[in-house]
Amino acid sequence: MAMKLSVLNLFAFILLRNIIVSRGALLFSPCSSISWNDLTASDSAWVLDSTRRAAAGIILVSQDGVGDTTTVQAAVDQVPKGNSNRVKILISPGFYREKVLVPFAKPCISFIGKDNAKTVIWYNLQADDEDLDGQPVGTYNSATVAVESDYFCANAITFQNTAPAAKPGEEGKQAVALRLTGERSLIYRCRILAAQDTLFDHWGTHYILESFVQGSIDFIFGSGRSLYEKCHLNSIAESYGAVAASQRNNITDNFGFSFVKSKLTGTGSVYLGRAWGKYATVVYSYCQLENIIIPGGWSDLNDENRRSTAFFGEYNCNGDGANLKGRVPWAKSLTYKQAKPYLGKVFIDGDQWLNL
């Protein structure tokens, strides 16, 4: 877990973000929901001329030069600060080697592809790689794509960090494919690929739907409050690994990960979750678990005090890895009543922002 954001840094980030909003330093009224229309583009939208694209709030990215830009970052740069209307960035098939930042001041952006296997944004940066000042970039800045704005959504895109997996005993090899730091994001039918620390679900409320997430150790981690529904989680661990690491440090924090109707496949022996924070919260419901789950299921990250405070639960899962007999005694086999708050969009207050 080395080189990830400290608790102090996370608190400072949230405090600063709230101050910016409350004091009106960014004077915009962002869109207040995400709909299916925000995730899609008709065939005709891809062939509009530049004038009609601009009028429709569309920016076309194409490596052959027929669009508005040839890179994804250049398209994001075209979106005005304080944007309050949905902007659809249509990304033509191609392999885009670049780091992309969607900044806080640019909400309501959609990344839309045609085929997630053919529309790939990739880079290969690890936490111990050096920046221009000769300092390690750290896990936070290793992300291929970093989303810091609210009401972001993506459809049919691959986010990838191609940095190699750590060798035994190596540290500083965290390599994030996608970092979600904004509030109320929807990732739909995307692929998120890396070897270690793949999806930094850093902060905010997120809905990950019908997507493929691949990694080895803590390949979903952070302080987000996120629902992963009908997703495919694939381990590429050579020996042992872990799916989720929840950083919930205070009982009042409304953080945690809920996996619903998802499947877990792959290699190695993996924990369902690890208690990165004292009150870490991870729940699996109606999930299909292959026989790669460590019998104990859950890890306290070498802090026995977390056994009485972490909330690790399973409800009505199936598959060879769903046998509860060997689970650690402090994990929970949930009743329907206990699982209900985690079973759907209610977990992420979806009625307030999802118009699906």
Residue 59 has pLDDT above 60, yes or no: yes
Q: Specify whether the CB–CB gap between 72 and 61 falls below 8 A.
A: yes
Q: What is the pLDDT averaged over residues 272-279?
A: 97
What pLDDT score was predicted for residue 130?
Answer: 94
What pLDDT score was predicted for residue 17?
Answer: 54
Residue 21 has pLDDT above 60, yes or no: no
Q: Specify whether the CB–CB gap between 2 and 171 falls below 8 A.
A: yes
What pLDDT score was predicted for residue 170?
Answer: 76
Q: What is the CA radius of gyration of the chain?
A: 20
Residue 171: band (very low, low, confident or very high) from pLDDT cuts 50, 70, 90: confident
CATH of domain 89-350: 2.160.20.10
Residue ranges per structural domain of the chain? 89-350
Q: What is the pLDDT averaged over residues 39-60?
A: 97
What tens digit of pLDDT does each residue of 284-331 get? 999 999 999 999 999 999 999 999 999 999 999 999 999 999 999 999
Q: What is the pLDDT averaged over residues 221-239?
A: 98
Residue bearing tokens 């689970």: 327
Residue 244: band (very low, low, confident or very high) from pLDDT cuts 50, 70, 90: very high
Residue 55 has pLDDT above 60, yes or no: yes
What pLDDT score was predicted for residue 19?
Answer: 44
Residue 24: C-alpha distances to residues 14, 15, 165, 169 (Å): 16, 14, 43, 47
Residue 48: C-alpha distances to residues 85, 184, 217, 229, 235 (Å): 19, 29, 44, 34, 41
What pLDDT score was predicted for residue 167?
Answer: 74
What pLDDT score was predicted for residue 168?
Answer: 64
Rounded Cα gap, residues 9 and 172, in angstroms: 18
Question: Which residues are tagged catalytic?
Answer: 218
Residue bearing tokens 């929970």: 332
Q: How many residues does the chain have?
A: 356
What pLDDT score was predicted for residue 128?
Answer: 95
What pLDDT score was predicted for residue 165?
Answer: 85
What tens digit of pLDDT does each residue of 70-104 get? 999 999 999 999 999 999 999 999 999 999 999 99
What pLDDT score was predicted for residue 10?
Answer: 52
What pLDDT score was predicted for residue 27?
Answer: 43
Residue bearing tokens 């954001």: 5
Residue 166: band (very low, low, confident or very high) from pLDDT cuts 50, 70, 90: confident
Residue 30 has pLDDT above 70, yes or no: no
